Amino acid sequence: MNTKSQRICLLLAFAVQSCVSTPAGACTGLRLIAADGGVVVGRTMEFGVDVESDVLVVPAGTELTNTLADPSKGMHYQAKYGFVGANVLGMKAVVDGVNEKGLYVGGFYFPGYAEYAKPMPETEERALAPEDYGAWLLANFATVAEVKANYDKVVLVPKPIAEIGGESFPGHFVVHDSSGASVVIEPMDGKLKLFDNPLGVITNSPSFDWHLTNLRNYINLTATNVPPVDAGGIRLTQFGQGTGLHGIPGDFTPPSRFVRAVAYSQAAQKLATADETVPQVFHLMNSFDIPVGAVRDVHEGQVHNDYTVWTSAADLKNMRWLYRTYKDQTIRSVDVRKALDAAAGQPRLIEMDSSQPIQDISTSFK
């Protein structure tokens, strides 16, 4: 087994163990809309190992196939639209991406709840592995309306991995378009279930409708500070800023992150343009950044740390996919149209990993 295969097996093994005992893949996604109508989507990618993502550039016309154990028993298709996004460990799977029409798709962990269809001869021509679904959406549809009309025309089936006991990746998906429309798609009871997503937020388990219901526990939260009150002749005033959000859950569990993502995105100042909103989205995503050591699990004597491997933003107005990594906080941008043109009809990769030098300005006087 070569080095990359060993890393893939390690990642998959950790992923399946995570479904049982570890909060791995603690990803968070949210959306802001600028005054000019520009939609900007932000997300974090968390995992217990470095997923070694690269930027995958897939032009329109590319022949795509499934990644099932036997690809002949699954869907084959040609990309109608080109797209750009992040993969993992050299796989074809796109976990976060944008196509040339401004459609965004993000795949998020959904452990304990994802349940796929059983492989059947009559549906094998429409079958995809769960990790193939994001690329299929990006390659075929331009708007959320089109996705809503077609999302269940494929069948997601388990992809057995012998090295990890035949388990499959658990995932659910968020889709946004340049109009601001958004949906969440979840595989449950062997079928794909679609929810409208007016808040533009997603995290992980449990199901999306549960998270919406749970928000009712926090309807007291507001970005506005609580005014002073008089009690027994004593005037009580706040110690400092933030009293309106007193009680907001601050841990890294999916329900708590969902509540925070809704609170912060709803409270965010509406800026004039998408260009101005991109840095704002990265600032919001700082609130969900997990440093190594803050979330951990011990399994068979080994410590696994879940951490933010990279953070991305998708500017659906100006057609850019931007990111920064754990090792390099510099924000890098990929112009979707420019990258697709430069690819000249061939799928290409752009390396994401880098290190960030610390600049010494000790003598840089004004």
Chain mean pLDDT for the chain: 91
Residues 95-127: tens digit of each pLDDT: 999 999 999 999 999 999 999 999 999 999 999
16 membership: H or E segment, kind and range: helix 3-21
CA distance 49 to 72: 31
Per the model's pLDDT, the better-predicted residue between 289 and 168 turns out to be 289
pLDDT digit string, tens, across residues 153-193: 999 999 864 434 567 889 999 999 999 999 999 999 999 99
266 — pLDDT class (breaks 50, 70, 90)? very high
Give the pLDDT score at 22: 39
> What's the pLDDT score for residue 88?
82
Region 132-136: mean pLDDT is: 97
Q: Is the peptide bond before 71 cis (omega within 30 degrees of 0)?
A: no
Residue 327 near residue 46, CB atoms below 8 Å: no
Query: How big is the chain, counted in residues?
Result: 366
Per-residue CA distances from 54 to 13, 83, 94, 171, 282 (Å): 21, 14, 10, 20, 20
Q: Which of 92, 62, 95 is nearest to 77 (CA)?
A: 62
Q: Where residue 202 falls among pLDDT bands split at 50, 70, 90?
A: very high
In this prediction, residue 24 has a pLDDT band, given cuts at 50, 70 and 90, of low
DSSP string, 293-313: TSSEEEETTEEEE-EEEEEEE
Does residue 13 surpass a pLDDT of 50? Answer: no
pLDDT on residue 89: 73
Q: What is the pLDDT of residue 101?
A: 99
Q: Which residues contact 137 (CB under 8 A, 6 or more apart)?
A: 103, 105, 147, 151, 173, 175
Q: Where are the domains of the chain?
A: 3-208+272-351
Mean pLDDT across 336-357: 95
Task: Say what the pLDDT of residue 221 is.
Answer: 96
Determine the Cα–Cα distance for residues 315 and 33; give it in Å rounded to an integer: 10
Across 11-20, 33-42, 94-103, least confident range: 11-20
Q: Are 147 and 183 in contact (CB under 8 A)?
A: yes
Task: Tell me the helix, strand and coil percentages in the chain, rounded to 5.
Answer: 25, 25, 45
Average pLDDT, integer, range 310-321: 98
pLDDT of residue 160: 67
- Dump pLDDT digits (tens) for 219-265: 999 999 999 999 999 999 999 999 999 999 999 999 999 999 999 99
pLDDT at residue 98 in the model:
99
pLDDT of residue 244: 97
The domain made up of 3-208+272-351 is a member of CATH 3.60.60.10: yes
Task: Compute CA distances 138 → 85, 132, 134, 168, 258, whole Å.
Answer: 10, 10, 6, 22, 25
Evaluate if residue 7 carries a pLDDT over 70. no
**Distance between CA 264 and CA 255 in Å, rounded?**
14
Name the percent of the chain lying above pLDDT 70.
Answer: 91
- Per-residue confidence (pLDDT) for residue 91, from 0 to 100: 76
CB 30, CB 270: distance < 8 Å: no
Q: State the pLDDT confidence band at 1, using cuts at 50, 70 and 90.
A: very low
In this prediction, residue 72 has a pLDDT band, given cuts at 50, 70 and 90, of confident
What is the set of active-site residues? 27
Q: How far apart are CA 158 and CA 46, in angstroms?
A: 23
Answer whether 7's CB lies under 8 Å from 268's CB: no
Cα–Cα dist 259/278, whole Å:
21
Answer yes or no: are the C-beta atoms of 69 and 128 closer than 8 Å: no
Residues 6+ apart with CB under 8 A from 298: 304
